[in-house]
């Protein structure tokens, strides 16, 4: 299926690894001009993808990113707010409401909500000048499933879900569609890196890291597929929502979680 993305300009944040890298590659393969945003460039990005080095914890960074896209390609048609997860230097999961202090809460919201809000604020005027566009926010099923684990992260993602629907209501009549993708547990370095989620859960469950990834975590989360989600599976959903082929889809939440969420 032709996603009709050829020649469109896409900004993808958190594009150096995991879901963001898969999204950047996929949009590039579909013919889009891709501006990949991360602190450092990875060799895994295609050569023709333009990299903008930025720390989105810096309130001024989003405006610089959008300005770079305008200078390089003349505008922005697609914004994928993928940057998020544990802030730099933070390891999740973090168990218990009392675990994060005020500074941890602020840092979590800065990275998972305010960075996206600022990216949207910078991109919307440029999109309106081009007659519209598509925004896809990458949230998390944890925003829908309250838990004593990662409560600050879940709260930030729930807020991002709210913002997405509000933006869709305001800017849909002006040609900007806004949708949200909710991944579940995705096989990224959040899980696999040294000291990451798999190591933390292994210590809690008395298991080894490989068993956590292959068996313990999927069973613990009651994932009906029996495995963690692959980043490409999330990227495919993002690409479809960014495409004009989804022209009547806005304000939606697309879940890619291996069957973790069970509510109606």
Catalytic machinery residues: 153
Helix (H) or strand (E) holding 73: helix 61-73
Tokens representing 211? 């068993």
Beta bridge partners of 134: 78, 177
Those residues whose C-beta lies under 8 Å from the C-beta of residue 124, and which sit 6 or more positions away, are 171, 176
The 8-class DSSP code of residue 131 comes to T
Q: Which residue has the tokens 């959040």?
A: 190
- Unique residue bearing structure tokens 């009709």: 4
Distance CA 90, CA 162 (A): 25
Helix (H) or strand (E) holding 2: none
Q: Give the DSSP letter string of 199-257.
A: HHHHHHHT--HHHIIIIIHHHHTT-TTSSPBPHHHHHHHHHHHHSGGGTT--S-EEEES
């Amino acid at each position: 299926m032709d996603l009709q993305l050829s020649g469109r300009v896409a900004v993808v944040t958190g594009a150096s690894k995991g879901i963001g890298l898969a999204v950047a590659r996929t949009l590039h393969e579909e013919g889009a001009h891709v501006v990949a945003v991360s602190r450092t460039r990875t060799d895994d990005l295609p050569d023709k993808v333009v990299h903008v080095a930025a720390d989105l914890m810096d309130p001024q960074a989003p405006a610089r990113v959008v300005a770079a896209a305008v200078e390089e390609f003349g505008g922005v048609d697609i914004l994928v707010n993928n940057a998020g997860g544990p802030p730099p230097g933070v390891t999740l999961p973090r168990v218990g409401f009392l675990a994060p202090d005020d500074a941890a809460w602020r840092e979590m919201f800065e990275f998972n909500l305010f960075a996206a809000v600022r990216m949207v604020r910078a991109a919307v005027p440029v999109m309106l000048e081009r007659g519209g566009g598509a925004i896809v926010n990458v949230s998390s099923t944890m925003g829908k499933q309250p838990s004593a684990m990662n409560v600050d992260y879940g709260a930030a993602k729930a807020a991002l879900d709210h913002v997405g629907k509000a933006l869709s209501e305001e800017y849909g009549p002006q040609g900007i569609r806004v949708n949200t993708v909710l991944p579940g547990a995705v096989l990224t370095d959040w899980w696999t890196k040294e000291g990451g989620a798999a190591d933390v859960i292994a210590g809690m469950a008395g298991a080894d890291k490989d068993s956590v990834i292959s068996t313990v975590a999927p069973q613990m989360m009651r994932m009906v597929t029996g495995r963690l989600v692959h980043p490409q599976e999330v990227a495919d959903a993002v690409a479809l929502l960014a495409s004009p082929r989804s022209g009547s889809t806005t304000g939606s939440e697309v879940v890619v979680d291996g069957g973790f969420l069970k509510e109606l």
